[in-house]
Every structure is written in structure tokens, then in C-alpha cells.
Amino acid sequence: MGTNIASYIDHTLLKPDASREDVLRICAEAVEYGFKSVCVNPVWVKTAVQALKGSPVLCCAVVGFPLGATPTDVKVFEAQGAVDDGAAEIDMVINIASARAGDSEALVNDIAAVANAVHEGEAILKVIIETGLLEDEQKVLACQASVEAGADFVKTSTGFNGGGATVADVTLMRATVGPDLGVKASGGVRSLEDAQAMIAAGATRIGASSGIAIVKGEQGLSDY
């Protein structure tokens, strides 16, 4: 598994103080190490897409990030803009209050609107359910809503709101969505051992800013 671990990794730079030079550096690293994608805030999509041109590395952008407390039409607009700029994947944050309130209909409506826009642009949608703020029952509800709404992946965490990926959460999410949907573990995945444990639990993608440490078998320091 260690040989192709890079192909699972979304090489991530979401810090608010990230510079253009930082974005160009992670793009170069992603090409060098063969990561699946580079994950950036929407303002950096054009820069990343240009830097990645000619390589198989995708550009991923976050939407409604990191709180999820953005009106659905704004999430749709943000997602469309990122896809228009060249993002091949969108990671959106759900309305966490809806999940905590057990409001499945609100969750489905929010996710489906973004999923439709993203799929129109021939991109894929990952849905961040922010496991650290939910009880297990609410995590299941959010995963079920993601499936119903037509998402392509469910994702554990933003890495910005406390609590990261755990083997227990990945196991629960995989059991809930079944074998076909993607499951992305993100937040606190810092080592090859961490990543392998997540994959063994059912993760098909790893979100990490410690991607290089992971593929080298070293220990990363970042929370994301």
C-alpha cells in the first residue's frame, strides 16, 4: 500500500495566510509526488490549475468553508465559479445546524443544489459533514442525505473546527454510504500509519497538508 499511497492524497493548503508562492509550491510538490489533487481555497483555483497544466494532478476547491453556514444559493454560486475556473472537484461543508437538528430535508436540499451545479460542470462533489461536531446518529443522517442528494464522496472534517478523522468515523461513514461512494478522511492525518489505518477502515481519499511526510513514512505536524 505504501507504494501508491500518494494517489489517495489531496495535497491541501487552506490556511488563510497562504500566498501565491505557497500555492505554486504545493502544486509543484503534488506533481513531483503524484498526489491525486491539490486542494485550495477558491481564490487560488486559477493559479493552481495553471500550475498543474499538463500533469494528471487535479485541482480541488472548498465551498462554504469552513463553517458551512452559508446560504445554499451562495454555495452554488461559489461552486460554479470554482468549476468555471477549472476545479475538477469541490469539497463543500454542510449546514451543520441542520444535521444537529436532524433535518434531513434541509441537508438534502442544500447538498443537491450544489451537486447539480458541480455535476453540470463535469466535476465531482465531496460533502464535508464535520464529524467532530456531530453525534453518531447525526453523522449517519448527514451521510444518508449526501447519498440521496447525489454526492460523490462524504468527507470527515474541515480540520478547522476541532476534531479530525478517526477510524471509527470512517468505518461508520463507509458502512452508511455503502461500497460505491467515496469516503475522504481529513483532519489530523499526519503519518503513513494514520493514512493506512483510514484506508483500511474504508477511506478512498486522504485530505492532508502532511502528504509529503506521509509518503516518506515520516510524521507531519499540521492539524489538517
- Catalytic positions are 91, 155, 184
Q: What is the DSSP string of the chain?
A: -GGGGGGGEEEEE--TT--HHHHHHHHHHHHHHT-SEEEE-GGGHHHHHHHHTTSS-EEEEEESTTT--S-HHHHHHHHHHHHHTT-SEEEEEP-HHHHHTT-HHHHHHHHHHHHHHHHHTT-EEEEE--GGGS-HHHHHHHHHHHHHHT-SEEE---SSSS----HHHHHHHHHHH-SSSEEEEESS--BHHHHHHHHHHT-SEEEES-HHHHHHT-B-----
